[in-house]
Amino acid sequence: MFKRHGLSVFAVVIAAFISLPVIVILSYLFKAEGVLWQHLLDTVLSDYLINSLLLMLGVGTGVLMLGVPTAWLTSMCSFPGRRWLSWAVLLPMAMPAYIIAYTYTGLLDFAGPIQTWIRDLTGLGYGDYWFFEIRSLGGAIVMMSLVLYPYVYLMARAAFLEQSVSSIEVGCSLGYSRWRAMWSLALPMARPAIIAGLSLALMETLADYGTVQYFGVSTFTTGIFRTFYGYGDTAAAAQLAASLLAFVMLLILLERYSRRRARYHSASESKARADLIPLMGRNAVIAVSVCLAPLMFGFIIPATQLLFWAVFEAEPLGWEFVSLAWNSFSLAFVAAIIAATLAIILSYARRNRPIKPVRTLIAMAGFGYALPGTIIAIGVLIPLAWLDHSLIALFERFGWHSPGLILSGSLVALLFAYTVRFLAVALGSVHSGLEKIKPSLDHAGRSMGHSPWAIISKIHVPLMRSSILTAVLIVFVDVLKELPATLILRPFNFNTMAVRAYELASDERLVDAAPASIMIVLVGLIPVLMLHGSIAHRRPQ
């Protein structure tokens, strides 16, 4: 009994610590500062809200339309190229949204090669012909959908693969067609996973600043930055961020409410290989195209353009790239391990004692994902600097040499920020893994006289391995791509590939940013490919 309490207490402490930055931001809600708010309400706030909602709606539709069909086809049907497509459609995940936005702008802008070619060919001038305006709300929706759909794909595919084949077979034996079985059984059963992927994509969308800012689309997040950078008003910016957070909380609550008491354990352990639905002829062509299109537009085209710039046009990166790559890689790796470890501890605590304080705090700890990195960074800086100052005061009392800013001025701040920002990703994956282990398995283990630890190591660990690996890998890729928090919190003389790419791009040297960008994509490919492996092993192929 003590052990169970001990775990809960430990988890509560961790969750409270991770929630600290979010709480710091929320605390700004109670600081009255009405003047700027009134101005924002009078002028721009309604635009911000409408654009943010449209963006969410668009990206939400986009990631579902790209993610779910690809996941279904690659896990339930057989068609030529299915094997390699099933990992290749993950590749866009390695592409940061701001980089794909820069790249497509270079290609499709009025000054880019395609429109220039059209004008040269036809003799028309700008405005005489219609062309998709990439720098627009629609452009932002397309860009973000292209790089965020893998979250949905990943979760949906894992769910489809883990679905007990027998449910589908029962459906078929009751007279459902294969397609009907998918629509009425497989999809609803995969709903928690699809929603989990969708909410990751949407939170990422809300937190995005780089893409919308570059495209000149005013969203709620650009509004936060405008108040922070333009008006230099931290309090009002934090208040806007807190409202964003409140909105996200509301969405999550709505989703929870909508599935209330439903449970999604698989009733049977049958992992027998389902017969894939063979697709022939026209259907096979359609299936291949459905999988090939997002891969083409989300990865192959932009990566080729980046590679072209990097090789032929950009100033080369030089040997510096070794230290940049190492910094990025090691930070991402350490952050991923920390996030996954904490996610395991928290998920277990929630499973063992799903009491309100534990659940609430854990939920709070995951909200960092919906906040822009800059806001997280401020929320991290304030408590850590306070701790540092207390430490310094303590040292001075004993007459010791001041330790300086050992927390807020070091990589500790950065790792803390990453954990706060990305814990939700790790929690989602670990939690969904744990949710699939039926409590009856634990009971069985205990009735056979196993200790709780033996149950974990003998039953849970093997069953959870791929979920944990998934958590580590997704956080790794996310940290690799992260920019704003890194920019604010990094210590002296410390750069990452994302920082380098940003500095050149924000200095309007897009082409010169290509080598660093392509490096991010290449390093990100490693975990993305491993990610595929970790899912593929869930069911014998």
CB of 495 to another protein, least distance (A): 7
For 180-215, what is the HEC assignment?
A: HHHHHHHHHHCHHHHHHHHHHHHHHHHHCCHHHHHH
Is 408 near another protein (CB under 8 A)? yes
The token pair at 412 is: 């500790």
Choose which of 16, 29, 77, 109 interacts with another protein (CB under 8 A): 109
Q: Do residues 60 and 198 touch, judged by C-beta distance below 8 A?
A: yes
Is 278 near another protein (CB under 8 A)? no
> Sign of the CA dihedral 132, 198, 273, 176?
negative
Q: Do residues 499 and 487 touch, judged by C-beta distance below 8 A?
A: yes
> Could you give the 3-state DSSP secondary structure of residue 278?
strand
Nearer to another protein, 79 or 209 (CB): 209
Is 404 near another protein (CB under 8 A)? yes
CB of 322 to another protein, least distance (A): 14
Choose which of 250, 285, 322, 337 interacts with another protein (CB under 8 A): 337
The Cβ of residue 57 has, within 10 Å, a number of other Cβ atoms equal to: 12
The token pair at 282 is: 């026209």
Write out the binding residues for another protein, residues 28-87 only, by CB under 8 A: 39-40, 42-44
CB of 105 to another protein, least distance (A): 8
State how far the Cα of 220 lies from the Cα of 222, in Å rounded to an integer.
6
Q: Do residues 506 and 464 touch, judged by C-beta distance below 8 A?
A: no
Backbone angles phi, psi at 277, to 5 degrees: -75, 115
For residue 77, the cross-strand partners are 277
Binding mask 163-202 for another protein (x = CB under 8 A): ----------------------------------------
Is 495 near another protein (CB under 8 A)? yes
Nearer to another protein, 266 or 506 (CB): 506
Choose which of 376, 415, 427, 480 interacts with another protein (CB under 8 A): 415
Nearer to another protein, 73 or 513 (CB): 513
> Could you give the 3-state DSSP secondary structure of residue 4?
helix
Of the candidate spans 57-65, 150-158, 331-339, 519-527, the one that interacts with another protein by CB under 8 A turns out to be 331-339
Alpha-carbon 502 to chain mean position = 19
The token pair at 402 is: 């001041």
Binding mask 196-235 for another protein (x = CB under 8 A): -----------------xxxx-x---x--xx-xxxxx-x-
CB of 453 to another protein, least distance (A): 19
CB of 367 to another protein, least distance (A): 21
Nearer to another protein, 151 or 422 (CB): 422
Q: Do residues 473 and 530 touch, judged by C-beta distance below 8 A?
A: yes
Is 400 near another protein (CB under 8 A)? no
